Structure 1
Amino acid sequence: MCRADRTTASGYCKAPAGILAARAALHFWEEPCISGPQGSGAIFFSGCTLRCCFCQNYKISRAPQGKSISSERLAEIFLELQEQGAHNINLVTATHYLPWILPALDMVKKQLHIPVVYNCGGYERLETIQALRSYVDIWLPDLKYFSSNLSRRYSQAPDYFDRASVAIRQMILQTGTPVFDAQGIMQKGVIIRHLVLPGQKKDSIQLIKWMAEELPKKQFYISLLSQYTPYEKNPDFPELNRRITSYEYQKVVDTALESGLEQGFMQKRTSAKEEYTPSFAYQGL
């Protein structure tokens, strides 16, 4: 929607025409039903349609850093990850490359026998979700903010909740009741992630209550993240220069349980570590 012609200049996402990726490897730090014992086959794409000031993958999301690959090479990567034993193909921040990713998925649709995960920031157009109906088995969106003031301040997207709430409803509509295999690995469904930010538990609680009241019951899982880690001191956002407290996180968890959102995952506070961010050395590309 930024109307950029990426053959001549990058758009808001900072991406060029064609695919730019930073890593393709087995990834063990997703939710247990996504990573499982063998790992998720995660491809991290460069650039992003949001500009979150606290992004843990900022090294690749804010600058065109990565390796250029073709749709044909991406199709090969999908099969290589499947051969390595990946439980799924995990497309991480992929929206701005869909004109090249969808042909890659078409190339391997008869050979790919594991689910496709769409791992995104939640800031998606309804039309995009609908176009992915026959490609995506598992949706892994963030739901970051309820307040437009917060989404404007931290992600430069005042319409974040308006967009994300509609997109996530459509994701649930398209997948229906979550499905797991005998190992407990998700095969179909939606997991809504929410990262609790320091000082913003009230906004988190509003989001939890909205999910409980407005989304179809038992049709999605939630994942409440305590892993917020300030990667540098930022004078523009001094309130974010600390980790969340146990009290802040527990209040959000308690609200989820009290609201009946018992299908999901929570983290130990020790999850707030920089090592949860993978190295982006173009592995597997």
Structure 2
Amino acid sequence: MPLLTPQTLERCELCPRRCHANRAANIAGACGSTSRLKLARAARHLWEEPPISGTNGSGTIFFSGCPLACVFCQNHEISTGNFGLTTTEHRLVEIMLELQEQGVHNINLVTATHWAHLLPHAITEARRRGLSIPIVYNTSGYELPEAIHELGNLIDVWLTDFKYADPTLGAQLSRVQDYPSVAIEALAHMMQEITHRGGIRYTNDGLMTQGIIVRHLVLPGHTDDSLHVLDHIWNTAGDVPISVMNQYTPNTRMKKLGGNLARALSTEEYELVLDYADDRGFTNMFWQEGGTVDESFTPAFDTTGIERKADS
């Protein structure tokens, strides 16, 4: 039986937590979501990796809720704060088409794991109505192989995190005991889906139209774990495009708790991880220049683009 159907919400198993909440009866799952789709923002975004944002931007759609609820999350307003507007699958399709009309390079579904049951029909319907740009699946990496397989012919680019190599760190910061093993298996299946479709593809302008980018956010005080993450990525996917990020910014909660996660990443820590990635053999790597922690890579979650504009 397919996983990605509306019936899944009756005993939800959309993410590896398999919390079995009856979301169909509007009981919130571990992700904080019921059966009512909530979106927080839909707009052009220029701060993804160059093959994703290009010159015209990526058409990001931010879904409310999250299966992980990382304690340091910069998007906590929507991941655990339940912020967003209740909308419909029909409106989701319209939003995809409206973003395409704005000239974006792709449709970027941000944290859609717990709404993945809507995607097969929504993407298919959007394609039927004229959507022609790639679909990017922007995920924490905490995904089920069954979901990846069912989305394989619909998702063009997997933009996936690999957060931790140490399960203890995953338990402390994201409240899941099995993050590394799940992320390894998920990455392997994403690679299988892309390989099945013919591998990574770019336009002449360098935009990724099919493929995968694996992201890793380096955490202050945890560079050893970052090195092990890079080992896992290499051993699972080989010389895959990676994005090593230094934009960790301590939120109010982390500042109160103190310790390494109450501060920004140092230049020395970041360069250590970049050097290791280079030594490991990664040849397609994106990195962030110094000072990015002072810039905002988090858009305003103000429900831009969610409500349909009144006809003029």
Identify the TM-score tier after normalising by the shorter chain.
over 0.9
2:236 matched to 1:192?
no
Q: How many residues align?
A: 283
**Structure 1 stretches of at least 4 aligned residues deviating more than 4 Å after TM superposition:** none
Conservation of the 8 A alpha-carbon contact between 1:41 and 1:82: yes
> Does the Cα contact within 8 Å between 1:179 and 1:188 map onto a contact in 2?
yes
8 Å contact from structure 1 (residues 121, 141) kept in 2: yes
Aligned partners of 1:178 and 1:189 also within 8 Å: yes
Select the residue among 216, 228, 250 that pairs with 1:230.
250
Indicate the residue corresponding to 2:204 in structure 1: 182
Tell me how far apart the structure 2 counterparts of residues 112 and 240 of structure 1 sit (CA, whole Å): 42
Q: CA deviation at 1:274?
A: 5.2
8 Å contact kept, 1:25–1:42: yes
The equivalent of 1:246 in structure 2 is 267
Greater alpha carbon shift after TM alignment, 228-237 vs 84-93: 228-237
Change (3 A) 1:35 1:260: same
Question: Contact 2:184–2:233 (CA<8 Å) still a contact in 1?
Answer: no
1:151 to partner: Cα distance: 0.5
Kept in 1: contact 2:62–2:110 (CA 8 A)? yes
Q: 1:235-274 alignment to 2 at 5 Å?
A: 235-236=256-257, 238-273=259-294
Matched, 1:108 2:114: no
Residue 237 of structure 1: how far off its partner (Å): 5.4
CA distance in 1 between partners of 2:67 and 2:109 (Å): 15
Distance 1:131 1:101 in 2: 10
Stretches of structure 2 that go unaligned for 5 or more consecutive residues are 1-17, 307-312
Equivalent position of 1:140 in the other structure: 159
Task: Structure 1 unaligned segments of length 5 or more: list them.
Answer: none
Considering only aligned residues, what root-mean-square deviation do their CA atoms show, in Å? Answer: 1.2
Within the alignment, does 1:128 sit opposite 2:147 as a pair? yes
Provide the rounded CA distance (Å) in 2 between the counterparts of 1:39 and 1:231: 27
Match of 1:164 among 179, 183, 186: 183
- Taking only the aligned residue pairs, the percentage that are identical comes to 41
Shift of 1:160: 0.2
What is the SS of the residue equivalent to 1:41? Answer: strand
| TM-score, normalising length: structure 2 | 0.88
- Rounded to whole Å, the distance in 2 between the matches of 1:67 and 1:257 is 43
Letter matched to residue 161 of structure 1 = P
Alpha-carbon distance in 1 for matches of 2:294, 2:68: 23
Higher mean alpha-carbon deviation, 186-195 vs 171-180, is at 171-180
Aligned-pair CA distance for 1:117:
0.3
Give the structure-1-normalised TM-score: 0.96
Hey, what does 1:47 align to over in structure 2?
65
Q: Does 1:13 align with 2:31?
A: yes
